[in-house]
């Protein structure tokens, strides 16, 4: 023991001041905390810069022209959509990984995205292209969100609240349902005419251009409220991330809390998927990067970091897409390229997950 104790600073610079004051901080050392705030400001700065760029850069009309503001407004819709996507995916993924105690899975496993593509595909298959085009508007949007939340409620209610309630069984069933829905929609897609398929495909790839500002008055308050709720539950999430037994020992009603939290996750995932389409790996990459940038257990610090990284990545990717690569590439490709590189770098540096 003495050999280990004699070199405390070698293990990552523990501040002398922190040592003397003897208080419990979310970060191990002042250095970690400073690094956190620095990375957070850089990500926010990049996000803001890219936002300004997206709105004003390369505007085809001059500032004094009367059509300047309409162009800005149109671009603003895309930016708001990115804001919502970043909020939803970052909060949903971090929360989901914490309550499941697993950092290499995403809430997509519960089958929201498969259900989304199943709904879209079956409308096209059964009712034809005109029905799919007409299946938009607030009613259709809320039907989809409602269906996805209902699916997860059934899944959670059935598998989590019983005597044999088991989170991993629920995940497994979620994956099976998702795969099943995917195969059925895959089958239906093969029977479509190429033109119909093309129309459908544009709906099935997540993109901010899918977003319709008509939904914003409902979606923004809903998302903000859900996110606020999760943020205020940070302390409880911290304990829940220690697992069922430890959380119960500390007096947290595990089952009830898990179901409530998973419903909030379902609201976020259903909303963003219905609004923008599936973005399967985005949340996963954002969460993974934010754990690196925020070395703490405390969700009060992880959440803002995850959002800042998510927003920064999305806006930067779209800015590059529109203004550097000339909008020829799908943004998902860019996100996955940079995300994949970051993933590899992290694994190579840490030599483990």
Which chain residues interact with other proteins by CB under 8 A?
Answer: 1, 4-5, 8, 11, 14, 18-19, 22-24, 26, 28-29, 97-98, 101-103, 163, 234-236, 238-239, 241-246, 248-253, 295-297
Of 46 and 287, CB closest to other proteins: 287
Least Cα distance to 305 among 234, 257, 236, 247 occurs for: 234
Of 53 and 295, CB closest to other proteins: 295
Rounded-to-5 percentages of helix, strand, coil across the chain: 80, 0, 20
Which residue matches tokens 């105690």? 101
Of 297 and 343, CB closest to other proteins: 297
Least distance to other proteins, CB of residue 303, Å: 14
**Residue 245 Rama label (left phi>0; alpha psi -120 to 50; beta):** alpha
* CA–CA distance, 89 with 310 (Å, rounded to integer): 8
* CA–CA distance, 108 with 281 (Å, rounded to integer): 9
* CA–CA distance, 317 with 1 (Å, rounded to integer): 49
Least distance to other proteins, CB of residue 246, Å: 7
Least distance to other proteins, CB of residue 245, Å: 5
* CA–CA distance, 146 with 165 (Å, rounded to integer): 24
Least distance to other proteins, CB of residue 227, Å: 19
Of 26 and 44, CB closest to other proteins: 26
Of 145 and 239, CB closest to other proteins: 239
* CA–CA distance, 106 with 94 (Å, rounded to integer): 9
Of 19 and 323, CB closest to other proteins: 19
Which residue matches tokens 């400001």? 41
**Sequence-distant (≥ 6) Cβ neighbours of residue 308 within 8 angstroms:** 40, 43, 44, 47
Least distance to other proteins, CB of residue 8, Å: 7
Least distance to other proteins, CB of residue 82, Å: 28
Least distance to other proteins, CB of residue 26, Å: 8
Which residue matches tokens 């999760």? 230
* CA–CA distance, 303 with 91 (Å, rounded to integer): 6
Least Cα distance to 86 among 215, 272, 233 occurs for: 272
Of 221 and 243, CB closest to other proteins: 243
């Amino acid at each position: 023991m003495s050999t280990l104790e004699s070199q405390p600073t070698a293990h990552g610079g523990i501040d002398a001041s922190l040592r003397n004051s003897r208080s419990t901080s979310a970060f191990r050392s002042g250095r970690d905390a400073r690094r956190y705030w620095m990375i957070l400001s850089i990500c926010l700065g990049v996000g803001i810069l890219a936002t300004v760029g997206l709105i004003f850069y390369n505007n085809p009309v001059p500032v004094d022209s009367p059509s300047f503001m309409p162009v800005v407004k149109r671009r603003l819709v895309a930016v708001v959509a990115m804001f919502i996507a970043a909020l939803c995916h970052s909060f949903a993924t971090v929360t989901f990984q914490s309550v499941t105690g697993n950092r290499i899975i995403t809430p997509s496993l519960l089958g929201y995205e498969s259900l989304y593509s199943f709904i879209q595909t079956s409308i096209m298959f059964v009712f034809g292209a005109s029905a799919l085009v007409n299946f938009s508007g607030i009613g259709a949007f809320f039907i989809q969100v409602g269906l996805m939340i209902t699916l997860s409620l059934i899944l959670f209610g059935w598998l989590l609240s019983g005597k044999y309630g088991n989170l991993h069984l629920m995940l497994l069933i979620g994956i099976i349902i998702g795969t099943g829905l995917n195969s059925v929609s895959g089958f239906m897609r093969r029977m479509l005419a190429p033109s119909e398929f093309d129309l459908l495909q544009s709906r099935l790839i997540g993109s901010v251009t899918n977003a319709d500002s008509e939904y914003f008055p409902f979606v923004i308050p809903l998302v903000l409220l859900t996110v606020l709720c999760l943020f205020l539950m940070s302390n409880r999430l911290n304990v829940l991330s220690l697992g069922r037994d430890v959380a119960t020992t500390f007096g947290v009603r595990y089952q009830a809390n898990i179901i409530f939290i998973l419903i909030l996750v379902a609201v976020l995932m259903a909303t963003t998927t219905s609004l923008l389409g599936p973005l399967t790996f985005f949340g996963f990459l954002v969460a993974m990067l934010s754990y690196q940038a925020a070395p703490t257990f405390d969700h009060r610090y992880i959440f803002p970091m995850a959002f800042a990284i998510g927003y920064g990545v999305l806006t930067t990717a779209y800015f590059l897409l529109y203004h550097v690569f000339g909008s020829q590439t799908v943004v998902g490709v860019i996100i996955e390229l940079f995300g994949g590189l970051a993933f590899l770098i992290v694994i190579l540096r840490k030599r483990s997950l």
